[in-house]
Amino acid sequence: MPIIALICYNLLLLLLSPLLVVYMLWRLLIAGKSRRGLAERLGFLPAHKLAGEGPCIWLHAVSVGETLAAKPVWEALLAALPGWRLLHSTTTDTGQAQAEKHAGEHGQIIYLPFDFLPCVWLALARARPRLVVLMETELWPNFLAVAHLLGCKVVLANGIVSDRSLRGAARMAPVYRWMLGNIDRFCMQSAQDAERIIRLGADPARVCVVGNSKFDQVVRQVPLGEQMMLRHALGLNRDEPLLLAGSTHPGEEEIVLRAFRLLTTLHPRARLLIAPRHIQRAQAIAELAVAHGFTVACRTKVEQQPSAPDAVLILDTIGELARAYALCTAAFVGGSLAPIGGHNVLEPLGLGKPAIFGPHMEKNRDIAAAVLEAGVGFQITDAESLAACWQRFLDTPELGKEIIDKAANIFHQHQGAAKRGVEEIVKVLDMAADAPRIVR
């Protein structure tokens, strides 16, 4: 039956291949996506990334948020499985940069192959992982089927089923049942996620609830010296309060700019830093800010051309957002006013900064509920409510000080998901006689 499902699925892909080819050419030639690591995406993993002794763990996280959530998982895995090797794949370029930053010294970083049978077969046959760990919702039918056929143990870690995924899966129920049948263990974030994955076809005996590994992220506090250096690099004076909009998407920057315009009537010395989710949108955001009557300065150009005292700043670099959160009075986290599902509000909270977000938090609903209940997260709906929330923290500095202790407490309450998940992963491993000893 699994082989028949695999054949049927790939026959369907073959029928759709003309459309898929056109789509891939559009991504590569027009949208400029998937160009980096193209050989790896086609399944041609370089030999030097596969070299080494010991069994291989293939861990996949699609982009930045999932890669950050994966860090405590692979750290716990490597501690529990001494002698095993880490092969860390991502889909996006930003995820690749994040993985290089955190996992580059501990394993090899690659791009996930396209989910076409020749690509995944070539990649998995060359890598020969003993264990495959997929983060959150990264379910690819061919990848899962081939991993299972090659004898890999497959685990979904930090699993979540969003409302959108649940609706989409209802239209492809047979595909989901077949796909989920190739997974040995489902380590879900919440009881609701566990119930949903079972509804989609997962074997209840393979499902467990471990919590959310995003709470296990060790947030590096930014030393005062680094903060001052970044302030100088951005052209910020010490007495200028900074408001930050991080990981923003199209449609959100306009709301942020309108909110900031409302705020400047009461706080004329306040500054705004916008950090788009995709830095290639920096120019479009700059033009939008100018259309709203602001002058603009991009991070990459401030040192050569100092910004005007009232300029809206745009963070057009990769890897500086976490440090920038340390500078702000309050942070809006994007992907939440646009129907994206929300990004990681724990990043500013880990630095003791209040996290503001919109109504679309489907991908992080449990985190959103927890931070709202703890009084460290604040939900807004439009420019007026965002401006009012920013104004509250600018007018009442002691509120920001309360956030520091409350945020530390919520991290403490919810930590341990990565360790619990790894304990479940270890249980599913078939320890052959020649396999390295597992440390418990």
* The pLDDT value given to residue 432: 44
Q: Whose CA is closest to 273, among 248, 304, 303?
A: 248
* The pLDDT value given to residue 303: 63
Q: Measured between alpha carbons, how far is residue 297 from residues 46, 185, 233, 270 in Å?
A: 40, 48, 11, 15
Q: Measured between alpha carbons, how far is residue 381 from residues 252, 273, 318, 342, 360 in Å?
A: 11, 20, 28, 13, 9
* The pLDDT value given to residue 105: 86
Residues 142 and 162 sit within 8 Å (Cβ to Cβ): no
Give the β-pairing of 296-298 and 312-314.
parallel
Taking each helix axis from N to C end, the angle separating 383-395 and 252-264, rounded to the nearest 10 degrees, works out to: 50
pTM for the complete prediction? 0.84
**224-414 has the same fold as 54-218+416-428:** yes
Q: Which of 66, 136, 252, 253 is catalytic?
A: 66
66 catalytic per annotation: yes
* The pLDDT value given to residue 336: 97
Tokens 């408001």 belong to residue: 243
Q: Measured between alpha carbons, how far is residue 115 from residues 11, 16, 25, 132, 138 in Å?
A: 14, 14, 16, 15, 11
Q: Which helix H or strand E contains 153, and what residues bound it?
A: strand 153-159
Q: Measured between alpha carbons, how far is residue 424 from residues 76, 196, 208, 342 in Å?
A: 12, 19, 8, 28
CATH number for the segment(s) 54-218+416-428 = 3.40.50.11720
Report the C-alpha gap between 357 and 332 in whole angstroms. Answer: 6
Report the C-alpha gap between 342 and 362 in whole angstroms. Answer: 7
| 56-98 per-position pLDDT tens digit | 999 999 988 899 899 999 999 999 999 999 999 999 888 898 8
Could you tell me the residue ranges of all domains in the chain?
A: 54-218+416-428, 224-414
Residues in the chain, pLDDT under 70: 1, 20-21, 25, 27-32, 34, 303-308, 430-440
- Is 224-414 in CATH node 2.40.10.10? no
* The pLDDT value given to residue 440: 44
Q: Which helix H or strand E contains 366, and what residues bound it?
A: helix 365-374
**What secondary structure letter does DSSP report for 28?**
I
